[in-house]
Amino acid sequence: EGKGGSNLWCFFSENMTLAARERIALESRLRNALAQGHLQLFYQPQIDIASGSIIGCEALMRWFDPVEGMISPGRFIPVAETSGLIGPLGAWGLEQACCQAQSWRDQGLPAISVAVNVSLHQFLLTDIVGCTRKALERSGLPAECLELEITESALAERPDEALVVLRNLKNLGLRLAIDDFGTGYSSLAHLKRFPIDLLKIDQSFIRDIPQSADDMAISHAVIAMGQSMGMEVLAEGVETAAQLEFLRQHGCNFYQGYFCSKPMAATDFEKLLRGEAQR
């Protein structure tokens, strides 16, 4: 029996070093990918529910590895977060998104905003204000066309520090959104103090509409609460006409999701915008 236990230990510890080794390997590959231009931003449209028109897009990072193919941000952002790579990676993403949005403006395409994700460590441990200012300056994008998405959990972590950073970002003139709202245990007392323009209802609350009465009640409450606090509300992960109809009936401002479109390469998004101009 003792022997079995020891074998079990070997099994676990080998697996752990394997996981650690894999993480380190991924980190160095990610560093290379950034240097060699293997990262790309995809864009998902954000739709105004009342008019049906595109009012913005969310930039979502993609890694195209020559051997492995597409690696999802769910896999490499956490590695970047714990390795310090999130600084340069985040700076690249911000500048890339701003330059792309400005290029669409230069081409006279319909005016839209671009939303960029800011992760926990990027928000609390890097110079996010300086980085954002630089991206705006270098791209020439007006600040009001940029939106930063910060997860509710990042704000809940250290609310007093978060408030200072949020105010400094707001002073640049951009828009601020809370991402994954409803999943991060932030208190309403803090929420009220934060200078937030948009609440993004997490897709886990949208997925089971209209089957789940609980999720419908929660989504309805978030829409009402956000709007009563002077914020606009966007629903994420909308996949069906029934979900969209529910959101319309409850006065939700915007939505994103496969029902309209998956995230797509910049060239494809540009075609969508050209079509929009002809509507």
Residues that bind ligand C2E (CB under 6 A): 44, 59-61, 72-74, 77, 90, 93, 117-119, 122, 179-180, 203, 237-239, 256-258, 263
Identify what 60 binds: Ca ion, ligand C2E, none; CB under 5 to 8 Å per kind: ligand C2E
Residue 100's closest CA among 112, 88, 86?
Answer: 112
For residue 95, give the nearest of 151, 29, 146 by alpha carbon. Answer: 146
**72 touches, from ligand C2E, Ca ion, none (C-beta below 5 to 8 Å by class):** ligand C2E
Binding site partner of 61, from Ca ion, ligand C2E, none, Cβ cut-off 5-8 A by kind: ligand C2E
Residue 117 interacts with Ca ion (CB under 5 A): yes or no: yes
Helices (H), 37-127: 73-83, 86-106, 120-125
Residue 210: asked if its preceding bond is cis (omega within 30°), the reply is yes
- Pick between residue 193 and residue 262 the one whose CB is nearest to ligand C2E: 262
**Which residue's beta carbon is nearest to the bound ligand C2E?**
257
147 contributes a contact to Ca ion by CB under 5 A: no
Instruction: Please tell me whether residue 134 adopts helix, strand or coil conformation.
Output: helix
* Position among 179, 238, 244, 247 found at the interface with Ca ion (CB under 5 A): 179
When asked if residue 152 is in the footprint of Ca ion (CB under 5 A), the reply is: no
- Of 95, 149, 152, 215, which lies in the binding site for Ca ion, with binding defined by CB under 5 A? 149
Q: How far apart, in whole angstroms, are the C-alpha atoms of residue 18 and residue 14?
A: 6
By beta-carbon proximity to ligand C2E, the closer residue of 189 and 241 is 241
122 binds, among ligand C2E, Ca ion, none (CB under 5 to 8 A by kind): ligand C2E
Partner residues linked to 116 by β-bridges? 59, 148
Q: What is the DSSP letter of 183?
A: S
* Phi, psi at 91, each rounded to 5°: -65, -40
